[in-house]
A and B are shown apart, each in its own frame.
Chain A
Amino acid sequence: MNKILEVRGLSKIYGPGCPQCLESTGPEADTNLCPHCGSVVAIHDVSFDLFEGEILGVMGESGSGKSTVVKTLYFDQAPSSGEAIFFDNDRQYDLFSLNAAQQRWLRNHRFGMVYQNPNLGLNFNISAGGNIAERLLMSDLMDYGAIRERAKALLARTEVLLSRVDDLPKHFSGGMQQRVQIAKALATQPPLLFLDEVTTGLDLSVQARILDLILEIQQELKTAMVVVTHDLGVIRLLTGRAIVMKYGRVIETGLTDQILEDPQHAYTQRLVASAL
């Protein structure tokens, strides 16, 4: 198994920051807001490795910084410090030292993102097929017929009715919007996919089918994924390893079944106990 992503010391502070920020925030301080300068330490010193085809869970409550982790890796936000190396076949990229155009290239070609809010991942004013076409056009596929075939194949794979390929996603159900997002994310067959609370807010039966779809895709395409969620059920079903975060810090990492059955940290024990 090969490493696909190596994250070291990833940090993100909103605000001016001060020398007391780090000691005044985190799980012990029970806040991520620095009382001295008002900065928010969204994440601090997050490190992990991700291997090819592996699904890693990032779990925690809101304010834990879990979404910030994937947003920095997907270049939605620049980190304050830290390093991330992306290994792509025989090439490697130091993500945060790339220029904007190089980052955009990776985002469009080698990464995929599925957001909790489909509004962020989809353009609601263009058709479902057009949304997928956009990602294909970004990777310089310029043949209308080929783009359309590929868009249809992706929507079929994610179980969106082909009769709706030319409809606007704003008229779709929440579950269907997530399917279109997944189809769009997969358009360029990226080896790395970020999923940010993708089933939150959906009906349970719809959730189950989306999770099924994600696992099927992972098995078929061997896509490595980082799954951000507060839902222990999602963590259990999807992930092999997990990171537990609180107030911006990683407080525990381990194999998913170990974290759920033998949690080490007091916070994780509470989290797991409250879910069972």
Chain B
Amino acid sequence: MNAMSHNQAGNAYNFGFLDEYAKKEVRRAILKAIAIPGYQVPYASREMPMGRGFGTGGLQLTLSLIGPNEVVKVIDQGSDDSVNAVNLRRFIEMTCPGVSTTTATAECTLIQSRHRIPELPLTARQILVLQVPYPDPLVVVEPSEDKRKTMHGEADYSRLLVKLYEDIVKFGEITISHRYPTRINGHYVIDPSPIPRWDVPKLNDSAALILFGAGREKKIYAVPPHTKAEPLAFSDVPFRVEDFRDEQGRRRACARCGCVDSFLDEFVTDSGSKTYQCSDSDWCDMQLSKARQTQGEPA
């Protein structure tokens, strides 16, 4: 257990920064969230030594779940090396002595992520924690939280569907690019955090537990393993993911690893032209090393 007091790292903080009572409360909220898939469980979000909106919700989940033997990976928009990911990883290393960190998706037991789900399918021994800025998908159609709670309770999502209808009327298709409203276990619709549409199908029947933490809005919700997750859509206008086709209709490839089945980020090169690269940096590295191995094999 991690209830012991640690001082080896030369700091005066409890293991995992949070005190044990705070962790216990968060874990209780997590259990409730797992028991009611998609339901937003309120919790007493603690002050963290960083601004709200920088992943405090996800970090509280991570710190409450973490044990001494944990292997943690922190990513920000697919990258392990962005400032936010690096800072959070350092904070975890500092406050959780004995915990190891990694960038390899395959090796970790706990992933804290902002805006992406790794390309490599997750396994039953892994937990994915997503940082959430706005937990309630109904906030765009109903300002009163009281009424939103009733709507969730009665699974009344017609007004969200009207939004989709209006999208098709105006643009000929559903234009939501991220935070795509997704119905969990046939009842609650969640805001799956700002993941792209590409990642939404990964929520469905996931082997890993997926947890969502909103620090500023003080909510925790979950998609438990092997739970149905259906993006809202019409029967004749189905949900679809980004297709990354170029002008000729060909699937774009990652400029670095050549992968044609990953989510791509668009970059503008120094010359002003556009180039595309895997958003998931670990995935890109994996593809690259795989390609090298293949090339290295004797013919």
Segment at the B interface, from A122-130, A155-163, A239-247: A122-130
**Measured between alpha carbons, how far is A137 from B165 in the docked complex, in Å?**
10
Complex contact B150–A129 (CB within 8 A): no
Q: Does residue A133 face the partner (Cβ distance < 8 Å to B)? A: yes
Chain B residues with CB under 8 Å of A142's CB are: 161, 234-235
Complex contact B234–A144 (CB within 8 A): yes
Chain B residues with CB under 8 Å of A126's CB are: 162, 166
**Measured between alpha carbons, how far is A146 from B236 in the docked complex, in Å?**
9
Q: Does residue B237 face the partner (Cβ distance < 8 Å to A)? A: yes
Segment at the A interface, from B43-51, B67-75, B152-160, B193-201: B152-160
Chain B residues with CB under 8 Å of A137's CB are: 158, 161-162, 165
Q: Does residue A147 face the partner (Cβ distance < 8 Å to B)? A: yes
Q: Does residue B169 face the partner (Cβ distance < 8 Å to A)? A: yes
Q: Does residue B286 face the partner (Cβ distance < 8 Å to A)? A: no
Shortest distance between the CB of A139 and any CB in chain B (Å): 9
Complex contact A138–B158 (CB within 8 A): yes
Chain A residues with CB under 8 Å of B150's CB are: 100
| One of A100, A101, A145 near B236 (C-beta < 8 A) | A145
Complex contact B237–A144 (CB within 8 A): yes
A126, A135, A143, A144 pick with most chain B CB within 10 angstroms: A144
Shortest distance between the CB of A50 and any CB in chain B (Å): 27
Complex contact A143–B156 (CB within 8 A): no
Chain B residues with CB under 8 Å of A143's CB are: 234-236
User: For chain A, which range describes its interface: under 10, 10 to 19, 20 to 34, or 35 or more residues?
Assistant: 20 to 34
**Measured between alpha carbons, how far is A123 from B156 in the docked complex, in Å?**
16
Complex contact B166–A104 (CB within 8 A): no
| One of B156, B168, B170 near A144 (C-beta < 8 A) | B168
Q: Mark B147-187, 1 if CB is under 8 A from A, else 0.
A: 00010011010110110011011100000000000000000
Q: Which residue of B lies closest to A142 (CB)?
A: B235
Q: Mark A98-142, 1 if CB is under 8 A from B, else 0.
A: 001100100000000000000000010011011001110110001
**Measured between alpha carbons, how far is A263 from B15 in the docked complex, in Å?**
84
Complex contact B165–A138 (CB within 8 A): no
Complex contact A134–B158 (CB within 8 A): yes
Q: Does residue A257 face the partner (Cβ distance < 8 Å to B)? A: no
User: For chain B, which range describes its interface: under 10, 10 to 19, 20 to 34, or 35 or more residues?
Assistant: 10 to 19
Chain A residues with CB under 8 Å of B159's CB are: 123, 134
**Measured between alpha carbons, how far is A143 from B234 in the docked complex, in Å?**
5
Complex contact A130–B166 (CB within 8 A): yes
Q: Does residue A49 face the partner (Cβ distance < 8 Å to B)? A: no
Chain B residues with CB under 8 Å of A104's CB are: 154, 156
**Measured between alpha carbons, how far is A129 from B165 in the docked complex, in Å?**
9
Complex contact A127–B158 (CB within 8 A): no
Q: Does residue A166 face the partner (Cβ distance < 8 Å to B)? A: yes
Complex contact B154–A130 (CB within 8 A): no
**Measured between alpha carbons, how far is A144 from B235 in the docked complex, in Å?**
7
**Measured between alpha carbons, how far is A129 from B170 in the docked complex, in Å?**
12
| One of A133, A146, A166 near B162 (C-beta < 8 A) | A133
**Measured between alpha carbons, how far is A126 from B154 in the docked complex, in Å?**
22
Chain A residues with CB under 8 Å of B170's CB are: 166
Residues of A within 8 A of B (CB): 100-101, 104, 123, 126-127, 129-130, 133-135, 137-138, 142-147, 166
Given A144-B168, A145-B236, 10 other A-B residues pairs in contact with their CB atoms under 8 A: A123-B162, A127-B166, A130-B162, A130-B166, A138-B158, A142-B161, A142-B235, A143-B235, A146-B236, A166-B170
Residues of B within 8 A of A (CB): 150, 153-154, 156, 158-159, 161-162, 165-166, 168-170, 234-237
Shortest 4 CB-CB distances between A and B: which pairs?
A: A144-B234, A137-B158, A138-B158, A137-B161
Interface CB pairs A-B, < 8 A, 16: A100-B150, A123-B159, A126-B166, A127-B166, A130-B165, A130-B166, A134-B158, A134-B161, A135-B158, A137-B165, A142-B235, A143-B236, A144-B235, A144-B236, A145-B236, A146-B236
